[in-house]
Amino acid sequence: MNTNHQRIGVALELLSSGLFPFFEQSLRAAYGERWEDTVRVSCRSQATVQPGCFRWDAQAMLTVMWDTWNSVFRRSLGLIERSVVSELREFRNRWAHQTTMTEDDAYRVLDSVQRLLVACGAESVASQVEEQKFDLLREKLGRRVNEELARARFNRARLVDVGLYAVCAAAIMTMMILMWGDRHPMSSGFVVGFTLFVFVYLIYRRFQASPPAYGVHECGQCRKVIYSENCPYCNPAPRHESKGGRAMASRPQSGDDSRRQHPATVSVG
């Protein structure tokens, strides 16, 4: 199971391989055989050219397409593809800086890559991107179905518990009334009221409970493996600040650490 960051990386690799033939053909038609020397200034040293095969990475090609759009690529592509180029450049920068990506971000990148490849005539590579989209949707749908099934089982178990609480409360109150109702009406009323209060509270707490997340699982937002119900990556713990404004760790320093940071001064003589 791939993470969102890995899916975007695969999509960018497929974009690089599928876009380059159209990219080279368009620039060669506009600038001739020396097209590479002409546009290398535009790509701002972001191109990674391998000797003998002239392979450019996705960021370099997207940058050149954006900078030379009016003079080269507007002849064969439209405004929608221009917006897709701008969007993919932004997503590629976020991906390169290890920004957290959601499933929606990954699907958006895959869909944009597929659209751009289809517009550039790379249908075979676009079909591979479509398979990546299906895998993402299949995994998302499977997780949603599992969550719905777990929630349904939890709700059924909760209704059974509430029913048992109600039956036990009714049985205890009926027994108290039958045993002490005539001889000790005040004691019977107190026990019945206390029993009703306890079981009403238990039923209320059972209805307020949410389905627990057991064991090691994956966060649905950042897709990282976590060991608790609340994700520490999406909701980090607040950090304490000192009077000077610098963040301090919440763990207290040991005696040895304090002595190392504040060595004692010894006066000689």
Split at pLDDT 50, 70, 90, the class of 81 is very high
200 within domain boundaries? no
Split at pLDDT 50, 70, 90, the class of 48 is very low
Residue 197 has a pLDDT of 83
196 within domain boundaries? no
96 within domain boundaries? yes
Q: Can you give the length of the chain in residues? A: 269
- Of 22-26, 106-110, 181-185, the one with minimum mean pLDDT is 181-185
pLDDT, greater one: 149 or 8: 8
Question: What is the per-residue pLDDT across 194-208, written as a single tens digit (0 to 9) for each?
Answer: 888 888 888 888 777
Report the candidate in 136, 195, 137 with the shortest Cα–Cα distance to residue 169: 195
Q: Which whole number is the average pLDDT over 47-54? A: 45
37 within domain boundaries? yes
Residue 184 has a pLDDT of 66
Residue 50 has a pLDDT of 44
Task: Report the relative pairing of strands 225-226 and 247-248 from DSSP bridges.
Answer: unpaired
Q: Helix, strand, or coil here: 112?
A: helix
* pLDDT at residue 46 greater than cutoff 70: no
- Distance (Å, rounded) from C-alpha 229 to C-alpha 212? 7
How many domains does the chain divide into? 1
Buried b (16+ CB within 10 A) or exposed e, 98-116: eeebebebbbbbbebbbbb
68 within domain boundaries? yes
162 within domain boundaries? no
148 within domain boundaries? no
Q: Which whole number is the average pLDDT over 77-90? A: 93
Mean pLDDT, all residues of the chain: 76
Domain region containing 122: 4-137
Q: Helix, strand, or coil here: 163?
A: helix
228 within domain boundaries? no
Whether the CB-CB separation of 125 and 17 falls below 8 Å is answered with: yes
Q: Look at phi and psi of residue 5 and say left if phi exceeds 0, alpha if psi is from -120 to 50, else beta.
A: alpha
pLDDT, greater one: 147 or 68: 68
